[in-house]
């Protein structure tokens, strides 16, 4: 398994930075090679990306999530891939983001060094593009303040969604219903997503 870790410092508060990383369906906007991410429920997402020059799709599970600290995921179907992103405050408006990505190459790779170099470059581009994305916006696109332990989600307690607390943020970042915010955009993986089996749910 190939494992790459990259770190970058973002000129935004840790809460804002973390909140943006809970919005998995926004990943294609800054994650190199990712074409689409669909939120299936609080702990499962479907990925569509280019891996080693090939078009791949797989399902992943959120295994651990601690607000303002870390998010970890791993694939449960298709190609084996895993990742963890950690957040560390280094000032009131500055955050260190550490992204670790792992991938198990399929088949025989003639030049493993080239493959590792490509993965390293992709992870580096991801943290760089994320920094540019959130700094240019100046705010998160949404927030989900729940926690996940051993792949089981715990939704936060309802709140009023005040301007200083984002537990009640709607997908657009505006105060919304007291659901702990949203994983994605309304109508897909966000407040209006449909849980497996066809029943509507909210995060």
122 in the Ramachandran plot: left (φ > 0), alpha (ψ -120 to 50) or beta?
A: alpha
pLDDT higher than 60, residue 60: yes
- In the block, tokens 């689409």 appear at 36
Q: Find, among 19, 44, 16, 25, the residue nearest to 187 by Cα.
A: 25
Structure tokens at 42: 């609080």
Q: Give percent of the chain with pLDDT exceeding 90.
A: 54
pLDDT tens readout for residues 93-116? 999 999 998 887 665 554 556 666
pLDDT higher than 90, residue 162: no
Mean pLDDT for the stretch of residues 49-69: 91
Domains of the chain: 1-203 (3.30.530.20)
Work out the angle at residue 7's Cα, subtended by the Cα atoms of residues 181 and 184, and round it to the nearest 5 degrees. 20
Query: What are the counts of helices (DSSP H) followed by strands (DSSP E) for the chain?
Result: 2, 9
């Amino acid at each position: 398994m190939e494992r790459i870790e990259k770190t970058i410092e973002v000129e935004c508060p840790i809460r804002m930075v973390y909140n943006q990383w809970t919005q998995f369906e926004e990943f294609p906007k800054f994650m190199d090679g990712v074409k689409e991410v669909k939120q299936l429920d609080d702990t499962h997402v479907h990925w569509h990306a280019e891996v080693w020059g090939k078009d791949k799709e797989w399902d992943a599970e959120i295994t651990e999530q601690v607000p303002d600290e870390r998010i970890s995921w791993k694939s449960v179907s298709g190609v084996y891939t895993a990742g963890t992103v950690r957040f560390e405050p280094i000032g009131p408006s500055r955050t260190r983001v550490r992204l670790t990505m792992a991938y198990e190459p399929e088949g025989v790779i003639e030049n493993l060094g080239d493959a590792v170099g490509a993965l390293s470059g992709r992870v580096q581009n991801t943290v760089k593009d994320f920094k540019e994305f959130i700094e240019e916006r100046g705010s998160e696109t949404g927030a989900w303040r729940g926690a996940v332990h051993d792949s089981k989600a715990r939704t936060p307690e309802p709140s009023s969604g005040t301007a200083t607390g984002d537990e009640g943020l709607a997908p657009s970042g505006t105060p919304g219903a007291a659901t702990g915010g949203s994983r994605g955009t309304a109508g897909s993986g966000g407040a209006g997503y449909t849980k497996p089996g066809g029943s509507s749910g909210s995060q």
